[in-house]
C-alpha cells in the first residue's frame, strides 16, 4: 500500500513539474480571440499556428536560432580543444605548480560574471569586437574551458602510463601522443564536455545581453528576455515565444539525455 | 600526486600546451577581474578618465540600504535555490530510488526523474518568461485556476506586490532548481553498498532510520557538491530577476548582481557597480573556500 502511495505522490509531483510546459503549449496554439473569450485554461478548438508564426516573423526567430547554434557550437568545440591542451599539460605532463594553476582555473570558473562584465564590455569596444558573435565566442570558450580543464585534469591524471610510455618508445612526440593516443581514448569524456558546453552556452543570458546589442546578433534567450522586458506582446504571442524557447531545450534534452546523466555524475564525485 | 621517477623526463616542453589556454585566461578573466577591482576605487561614468577616490565606494556601500536589502533578498534565494532543493531532493531521490526504482522498475524511476529534471535544461530566461506569463495578475493562468475553483481571494498580483514578489520568485526558483539535486543524489545512491541497508534492516531499522543513518551519511560528498554549487548559483542569480521583476516592485526583489548591473549600465556609476561586484566575488570565494575546507575535514 505504502509503495503505491509513494509511487502516486511521485507521479503527481512529476506531473506538477510539467504543468507549466503544458499550459504554455496549450496557449501557444490558440488564436487571440479564443484566448480572450476562454482564458488561459480552456482547451484550444484546434491548432492555430498564427501566434507562433507572428512571433517567428516579428523577431526573425530563425536568425536567433542560427546565432545561438553558431555561438554554442563554436564555444563547445573550442572549449573542448583548450581544455584538452590545458589538461594534457596539467594531468599528464604534470608541469610544476600544477596545483596552483588548477586553483586559478577553478577560481576563474567561480567568479561572478558581474565582476568581469564592465571590463569585458570596455575591452570589446577597444578592440572593435563589441556587438559581435566572436566576442561572445571567445569569452565563453575561456569560461567553459576553465571548468573543462578542472574536470579533464583529474580524468587524465589517471591515464594509463604504459600507453604513454609505449607511444614514446615507438617514437611519437608529445603532439602525436596527444592526438593519436590521449584524445581517442578520452573520447567519451570529451563528448560529455561538448554537450555540457553547448547547453550551458545556449542558456547563457547575462554577458550576451550586455555584449550583443543589435537584433541580428542576439541569441534565443537574449531576444526573448529583451522582448519580455518591453511588455509589448499579447498573451498568445508571449506563450508562443515561450514555447519556441522551450522546444530547443527539450530537443537537446532528448538527444543528449544519456550523455547528460552520465556527465552530471562525472562532475559530482571525484 | 607522487611525481617520483616519472617516466616522462622533459617536463618543460609540456608547458607549451598551456600557452593558448593561459593567455586566453589572462585576457578574458584575470586582467578584466583586476580591472574591475581597480575601477571599484574610482568614480567613473564609463567615458573619460576615471577619478581615483580610494575606498569611498566601499564606505558608501556600508550605509547603502539598497545594497544590504539586495543581500537579504539573496539569502532568501539561497534558501529557495540551495537549502530547500537539497532537502526536497534528498526525499524525492530516496523515494524514487528506494520505492519506485526497486518495486516498479528503474525505467519508471528514470522517467519520473526526467520530468523533475526538465526545468533545469530550460534557459533560465525562458523559464522566467513562462512563469511571468503564468503569474500575470490579469488573465494569468494561476489566478484563473484559483478563480475557477472559487478561491478568488487567493488570486494575487504575484510579481507586482512588494510584499509577495520575493516569495513568488523563490517559488519559481525552487521549481527550476529541484531536479538538479534529485539527479545527483540518485546517482550517489547507486554507489551505496546495498549490504549496509540489509544490515540495518535486519537490525529492525525503519525506512526513515535507514534513510538518515545509512543513505544520508553515505552520499555526503554529493550533498556538499550540491549545496556549494547551488549556493554559488543563488548568489549569482541575474536572469530570472531581469525577466520576472527587474528587481522591483520598489526594489523588493533586487539582488547584488542586478544592482551592480543597474549601476554599470543604467545609472552609469561604473565605480560603484564595480565595488558591488567585487564584494559579491569576495563573498563567493570565501564561501567556496569554507565549504571545501569543511568537506575535506569531513573526509579525513
What the block records as the C-alpha cell of A26 is 496549450
Number of domains in chain A: 2
Residue of B13, B129, B224, B258 to mutate for A, most A C-beta atoms under 10 A: B129
User: Can you give the pLDDT at residue B49?
Assistant: 86
Using N-to-C axis directions, what is the helix angle for B15-25 and A98-110, rounded to 10°? 30
Give the tens place of pLDDT for each residue, B67-76: 999 999 999 9
Tell me, what's the pLDDT at B299?
63
Parent domain of A27? 1-48
Among A108, A109, A119, A207, the strongest candidate for a mutation testing the B interface, having the largest count of B CBs within 10 A, is A119
Residues A104 and A184 reside in one and the same domain: yes
A142 falls in which pLDDT band (50, 70, 90)? very high
State the nearest Cα–Cα gap between B236 and chain A, in angstroms: 6
Give the CATH number for residue A67.
1.10.3720.10
Band (pLDDT 50/70/90 cuts) for residue A260 is low
CA distances from B92 to A237, A258, B89, B211, B299 (A): 35, 21, 5, 12, 25
Mean pLDDT score, B118-145: 84
Phi and psi at B255, nearest 5°, equal: -130, 160
Query: Does A138 lie in the same domain as A228?
Result: yes
Residue-level length of chain A = 270
Q: Residues A34, A76: one domain?
A: no
Are A88 and B17 contacting, i.e. CB atoms less than 8 angstroms apart?
A: yes
Percent of chain B residues past pLDDT 70, beyond the cut: 95
Look at residue A7 and tell me if it is in a domain: yes
Of the candidate ranges A78-82, A220-224, A251-255, the one whose mean pLDDT is the lowest: A251-255
Looking at residue A231, what is its pLDDT?
64
Taking the Cβ of residue B273 and every Cβ of chain A, the question of whether any pair is shorter than 8 Å is answered with yes
Does B5 have pLDDT greater than 50? no
Flag whether A53 is in a domain.
Answer: no
For the four alpha carbons of B101, B107, B108 and B109, in that order, the dihedral sign comes to positive
Q: Is the pLDDT of residue B8 over 70?
A: no
**Domain extents in chain B:** 58-299
How many CA atoms, within 13 angstroms, populate the side-chain half-sphere of residue B152? 1
Return the C-alpha torsion angle A266, A270, B4, B5, nearest 10. -20
Which pLDDT tens digit goes with each residue over A85-104?
A: 999 999 888 888 888 999 99
Same domain, A43 and A70: no
The answer to whether residues A15 and A89 belong to one domain is: no
Contacts of A161 in chain B (CB under 8 A): 7
Q: Which of B134, B222, B232 sits opposite A20 (nearest CB)?
A: B134
pLDDT at position B7: 47
- Using a CB-CB cut-off of 8 Å, the residues of chain B touching A93 are 8, 11, 14-15, 17
Cβ atoms within 10 Å of A149's Cβ, excluding its own: 30
Nearest to A118 by CA among A211, A218, A226: A211
Nearest chain A residue to B260 by CA distance is A114
- Which among B118, B257, B284 has the least Cβ separation from residue A253? B118
Average pLDDT (A7-35) is 86
Domain for residue A223, yes or no?
A: yes
Domain check: are A2 and A91 in the same one? no
Residues B123/B100, Cβ–Cβ less than 8 Å: no
Is A133 in the same domain as A12?
A: no
Please name the residue that has the C-alpha cell 535555490. B81
CA distances from residue A166 to A161, A163, A184, A186, B7 in whole angstroms, order as listed: 9, 5, 16, 17, 11
Contact map slice: B 91-120 vs A, CB within 8 A:
92, 95-96, 99-100, 103-104, 108, 111-112, 114-116, 118-119
pLDDT tens figures, A149-184: 988 988 888 888 888 888 889 888 889 889 888 888
Query: In terms of CATH architecture, what is B58-299?
Result: Orthogonal Bundle (1.10)
For residues A35 and A128, membership in a common domain is answered with: no
pLDDT at B139 over 80: no
ipTM of the complex: 0.85
Residue A55 lies in a domain: no
Do A34 and A65 lie in a common domain?
Answer: no
Instruction: Report if residue A36 sits inside a domain.
Output: yes
DSSP letter, residue A111? S
Q: What angle do CA A165, A168, A174 make, to 5 degrees?
A: 110
Q: For chain A, say whether B47 makes contact (Cβ under 8 Å).
A: no
In a domain, A113, yes or no: yes
pLDDT of B12 reads 56
The reported pLDDT for the residue numbered A94 is: 85
Looking at the structure, tell me whether residues A36 and A67 fall in a common domain.
Answer: no
Is the Cβ–Cβ distance between B254 and B69 less than 8 Å?
yes
* Chain A positions in Cβ-Cβ contact with residue B16 (cut-off 8 Å): 89
Whole-angstrom Cα distance, residue A132 to residue A67? 11
Residue A136 in this model has a pLDDT that exceeds 90: yes
Q: Is B142 on the interface with A (CB under 8 A)?
A: no
Taking all residues of chain A, what is their mean pLDDT, rounded to a whole number? 85
Say yes or no: A149 and A263 in one domain. Answer: yes
Give yes or no: residues A118 and A179 share one domain: yes
Q: Find, in chain A, the residue whose alpha carbon is nearest to that of B135.
A: A20
CB within 8 Å of B120: residues ≥ 6 apart: B176, B177, B179, B180
Per residue in A205-244, pLDDT tens?
999 999 998 888 999 999 888 887 666 667 777 888 888 8
**Mutation test of the interface with chain B: which of A1, A9, A12, A20, choosing the one with the most B Cβ atoms within 10 A?**
A20
Amino acid at each position: 500500500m505504502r509503495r503505491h502511495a509513494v509511487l502516486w505522490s511521485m507521479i503527481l509531483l512529476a506531473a506538477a513539474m510539467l504543468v507549466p510546459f503544458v499550459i504554455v503549449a496549450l496557449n501557444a496554439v490558440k488564436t487571440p480571440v479564443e484566448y480572450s473569450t476562454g482564458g488561459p485554461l480552456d482547451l484550444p478548438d484546434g491548432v492555430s499556428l498564427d501566434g507562433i508564426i507572428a512571433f517567428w516573423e516579428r523577431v526573425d526567430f530563425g536568425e536567433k536560432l542560427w546565432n545561438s547554434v553558431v555561438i554554442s557550437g563554436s564555444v563547445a568545440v573550442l572549449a573542448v580543444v583548450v581544455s584538452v591542451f590545458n589538461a594534457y599539460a596539467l594531468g599528464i605532463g604534470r608541469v610544476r605548480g600544477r596545483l596552483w594553476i588548477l586553483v586559478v582555473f577553478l577560481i576563474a570558473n567561480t567568479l561572478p560574471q558581474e565582476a568581469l562584465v564592465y571590463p569585458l564590455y570596455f575591452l570589446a569596444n577597444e578592440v572593435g569586437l563589441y556587438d559581435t558573435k566572436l566576442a561572445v565566442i571567445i569569452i565563453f570558450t575561456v569560461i567553459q574551458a576553465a571548468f573543462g580543464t578542472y574536470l579533464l585534469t583529474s580524468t587524465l591524471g589517471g591515464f594509463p602510463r604504459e600507453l604513454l610510455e609505449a607511444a614514446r618508445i615507438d617514437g611519437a612526440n608529445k603532439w602525436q601522443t596527444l592526438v593519436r593516443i590521449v584524445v581517442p581514448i578520452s573520447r567519451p569524456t570529451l563528448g560529455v564536455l561538448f554537450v555540457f558546453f553547448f547547453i550551458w552556452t545556449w542558456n547563457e543570458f547575462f554577458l550576451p545581453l550586455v555584449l550583443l546589442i543589435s537584433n541580428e546578433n542576439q541569441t534565443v534567450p537574449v531576444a526573448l528576455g529583451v522582448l519580455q522586458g518591453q511588455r509589448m506582446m499579447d498573451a498568445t504571442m508571449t506563450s508562443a515565444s515561450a514555447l519556441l524557447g522551450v522546444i530547443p531545450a527539450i530537443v537537446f534534452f532528448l538527444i543528449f539525455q544519456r550523455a547528460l546523466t552520465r556527465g552530471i555524475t562525472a562532475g559530482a564525485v571525484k | 600526486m607522487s611525481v617520483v621517477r616519472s617516466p616522462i623526463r622533459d617536463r618543460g616542453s609540456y608547458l607549451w600546451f598551456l600557452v593558448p589556454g593561459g593567455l586566453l585566461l589572462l585576457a578574458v578573466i584575470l586582467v578584466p577581474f583586476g580591472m574591475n577591482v581597480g575601477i571599484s576605487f574610482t568614480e567613473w561614468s564609463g567615458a573619460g578618465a576615471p577619478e581615483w577616490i580610494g575606498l569611498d565606494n566601499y564606505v558608501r556601500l556600508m550605509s547603502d540600504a539598497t545594497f544590504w536589502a539586495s543581500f537579504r533578498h539573496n539569502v532568501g534565494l539561497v534558501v529557495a535555490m540551495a537549502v530547500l532543493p537539497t532537502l526536497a531532493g534528498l526525499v524525492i531521490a530516496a523515494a524514487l530510488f528506494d520505492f519506485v526504482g526497486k518495486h516498479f522498475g528503474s525505467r519508471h524511476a528514470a522517467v519520473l526523474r526526467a520530468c523533475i529534471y526538465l526545468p533545469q535544461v530550460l534557459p533560465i530566461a525562458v523559464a522566467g518568461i513562462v512563469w511571468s506569463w503564468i503569474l500575470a495578475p490579469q488573465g494569468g493562468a494561476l489566478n484563473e485556476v484559483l478563480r475557477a475553483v472559487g478561491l478568488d481571494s487567493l488570486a494575487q498580483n504575484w510579481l507586482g506586490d512588494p510584499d509577495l514578489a520575493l516569495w513568488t520568485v523563490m517559488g519559481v526558483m525552487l521549481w527550476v532548481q529541484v531536479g538538479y539535486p534529485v539527479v545527483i543524489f540518485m546517482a550517489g545512491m547507486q554507489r551505496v553498498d546495498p549490504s549496509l541497508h540489509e544490515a540495518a534492516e535486519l537490525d529492525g531499522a525503519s525506512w526513515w532510520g535507514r534513510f538518515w543513518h545509512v543513505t544520508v551519511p553515505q552520499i555526503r560528498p554529493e550533498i556538499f557538491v550540491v549545496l556549494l554549487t547551488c549556493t554559488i548559483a543563488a548568489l549569482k542569480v541575474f536572469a530570472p530577476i531581469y525577466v520576472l521583476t527587474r528587481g522591483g516592485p520598489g526594489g523588493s526583489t533586487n539582488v547584488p548582481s542586478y544592482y551592480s548591473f543597474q549601476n554599470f549600465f543604467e545609472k552609469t556609476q561604473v565605480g560603484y557597480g564595480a565595488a558591488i561586484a567585487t564584494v559579491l566575488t569576495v563573498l563567493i570565494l570565501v564561501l567556496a573556500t569554507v565549504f571545501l575546507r569543511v568537506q575535506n575535514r569531513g573526509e579525513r
